[in-house]
Structure 1
């Protein structure tokens, strides 16, 4: 998977079992982030809203991203699985998430799966969001499936949340009226965009949170940004760079770069904490690139108050690999005919009418033989 930060191709290799009785296990074999080539990453960022583009550019990038994902997958299979695997699931790179009046209408991920099949000879599950959207769901965040199954396997049952800090922040909350999963708003995307603009792309993120740590929060700008109507929508909800684009922050702030970054960092911390506070969560397990930003983590701890801020490493999933293992899980469920979204407090976590089996399967070199359908998963344990 490559997330909304477009900061690399996250590949995770895992061994799954338990589809027959619903007691799923995951044995992580290894994970690594592979860099996009500078050219492809630059073109992907240039393609994102509000930029204009052409069908030619979309076609080219679909093929080029597919080839680079294929190379990354093949390398990971060689490194972590002795050169042998059963199935690949590829999320690709989201370049547009179409939402109107609070409802997702569609989305586009680039990364031609045929290139992965050709490189590996394996069947590939791709396009994992579209079926959920067609069924009336948000198509995001799909992390709720992995998160809920992980939390269901934990004891005792207390209100907990899993938080992913990618370009966009998403949370899964358990306890109370049932699990919820939704996007809270920006995590790193506005910070990254402001730094790239100010440095003419010489820098792409706030390394070590140093800029935020040396700046001061501008309260008028923060209040202006917190007035965004998205924060007041009720779950299920999803968002992306279509809303929180590089042009989202006013260009006339008059702030120094450190003060601007400090303010955008505070925006992420406040909106995440405000989202979680009503649910009374006592533990928050964070993952994603934002975990490596000490300034952001400090502000999150401050605003979360009594809730403990931990990382997904405590659950057996490294912070930089959790979404890769999420994709592996979704592929495993699809292969066994099991819906890739779960029921929540008031229905399906994503808002779909019914849980659906996700994605489409591209056959590999061998004849395509699917196993007998599995059953509804009851939980997921990470084993060694």
Structure 2
């Protein structure tokens, strides 16, 4: 089945579209990558979206407008991916949408909201759409995240040692696939979200990211600020745990920087980079990780990757590209797999990773203009994921301290 996965993460920087041919062979999902695209948001949409996110207040009119505009942007990305990557023959589209709120109280997720009305995707492409994947896990008592953990566990379960999948998006999250404390998954803390926020605050919105980590590389880690940031209670919560812009936002950063106004932008960014590296490394060490497979936009930041390499102190780091999945599009591929499981009536969660009472079939289905995709294969849930054309598992290799 030719499936397109659509993903827009916490950084709200673009829509990632990844196409794959997916089949089930025995207990294994076989993924053949067909290519990936990064699709920019239409002018003004990203600005309006960021302006509406916590801790900002918004109106139901704004929510309706953003839901529609995001749905149209996702529809455009899906249509382009179908034409350019699938020769117009995609059979299923899986849309994560854009998370705008993750309602957490006392360590428990009460609800989660993703915008991006799937009807626009179905109408534009004529394809069946699986969307709204997170709420079912929340309804079953889970965190609703990290949902890619189910794919990570299938993908890495046969690797030696204790492999740890790391996503460096707006928020950093890990999946411990096997061994150690695995399977286990949770958000370790901020990755790009505070870095991007610091740049926007320092430039008055003229810039929104530290390109290639150049500013952080020119700065010095400020130990008192790092100590204050590291005292955040979130880091001591038990796993599984999830977080987002509800906590790590501009107001949070301003409060953390109170009394440190004399610091340069470069020193602030260097300190925030070190915070991400150390909180990730602490999580990897706690899990007994023997290798890290990183993906997400943060892998393009050589300063962050170098800091992570130092903090891990000998634990090898490679990117998911080495295992056949492009690091920039790995989450989009993962959601393609989750939606593929949904139309087969198969669960897409690992309860030990999300904290749910049981594994559940994820999402809602919006029909296209034709019949629903025919779901072949067996009825048993697959336990492995193999990326077509990749080599068998091998021992952890050379540490990577640069981005692609």
Aligned counterpart for 1:102 among listed residues 95, 98, 107: 107
Q: How far is 1:134 from its partner?
A: 0.4
Q: How far is 1:37 from its partner?
A: 1.4
Change over 3 Å in CA distance of 1:105–1:370 after alignment to 2: farther
Matched, 1:4 2:7: no
Q: Deviations for 1:272-301, whole angstroms, at most 9, x for unmatched residues?
A: 001111222121011111101111111100
Q: Secondary structure at the match of 2:102?
A: strand
Matched, 1:221 2:225: yes
Aligned counterpart for 1:248 among listed residues 248, 252, 255: 252
Contact kept in structure 2, 1:282 and 1:306, CA below 8 Å: no
Matched, 1:366 2:370: yes
Alpha-carbon distance in 2 for matches of 1:223, 1:272: 16
Q: Deviations for 1:19-42, whole angstroms, at most 9, x for unmatched residues?
A: x63211000000011000131000
Q: Deviations for 1:183-216, whole angstroms, at most 9, x for unmatched residues?
A: 0000010010010111111111110111111111
Matched residue, 2:166: 163
Alpha-carbon distance in 2 for matches of 1:279, 1:94: 28
TM alignment of 1:287-306, pairs within 5 A: 287-306=295-314
Matched, 1:87 2:92: yes
Alpha-carbon distance in 1 for matches of 2:52, 2:343: 32
Q: How far is 1:368 from its partner?
A: 3.1
Alpha-carbon distance in 2 for matches of 1:379, 1:367: 29
Contact kept in structure 2, 1:21 and 1:374, CA below 8 Å: no
Alpha-carbon distance in 2 for matches of 1:374, 1:78: 31
Matched, 1:326 2:334: yes
Q: How many residues align?
A: 377
Alpha-carbon distance in 2 for matches of 1:29, 1:199: 39
Q: How far is 1:306 from its partner?
A: 1.4
Contact kept in structure 1, 2:180 and 2:289, CA below 8 Å: no
Contact kept in structure 2, 1:153 and 1:380, CA below 8 Å: no
Matched, 1:172 2:180: no
Q: How far is 1:179 from its partner?
A: 1.1
Alpha-carbon distance in 2 for matches of 1:263, 1:177: 29
Change over 3 Å in CA distance of 1:70–1:369 after alignment to 2: closer
Alpha-carbon distance in 2 for matches of 1:359, 1:125: 6
Q: Deviations for 1:52-89, whole angstroms, at most 9, x for unmatched residues?
A: 10000110010001001101110011001111111111
Matched, 1:38 2:46: no
Query: What TM-score do you get using the length of structure 2 for normalisation?
Result: 0.91
Matched, 1:193 2:197: yes
Q: Secondary structure at the match of 2:314?
A: coil
Two-structure CA RMSD over aligned residues (Å):
1.2
Alpha-carbon distance in 1 for matches of 2:379, 2:92: 16
Contact kept in structure 2, 1:334 and 1:357, CA below 8 Å: yes
Alpha-carbon distance in 1 for matches of 2:43, 2:327: 24
Structure 1 unaligned blocks of 5 or more: none
Q: Secondary structure at the match of 1:78?
A: helix
Matched residue, 1:137: 142
Q: How far is 1:45 from its partner?
A: 0.4
Alpha-carbon distance in 2 for matches of 1:370, 1:79: 23
Contact kept in structure 2, 1:49 and 1:96, CA below 8 Å: yes
Query: What TM-score do you get using the length of structure 1 for normalisation?
Result: 0.96
Matched residue, 2:81: 76
Alpha-carbon distance in 1 for matches of 2:244, 2:303: 23
Q: How far is 1:307 from its partner?
A: 0.4
Aligned counterpart for 1:278 among listed residues 256, 265, 286: 286
Q: Deviations for 1:154-184, whole angstroms, at most 9, x for unmatched residues?
A: 3xx3111010000000000131243111100
Change over 3 Å in CA distance of 1:87–1:287 after alignment to 2: same
Q: How far is 1:153 from its partner?
A: 3.8
Q: Deviations for 1:325-382, whole angstroms, at most 9, x for unmatched residues?
A: 0110011000101101024xxxx31000000000000111113365366312120100
Matched residue, 1:58: 63
Contact kept in structure 2, 1:181 and 1:236, CA below 8 Å: yes
Q: Secondary structure at the match of 1:376?
A: coil
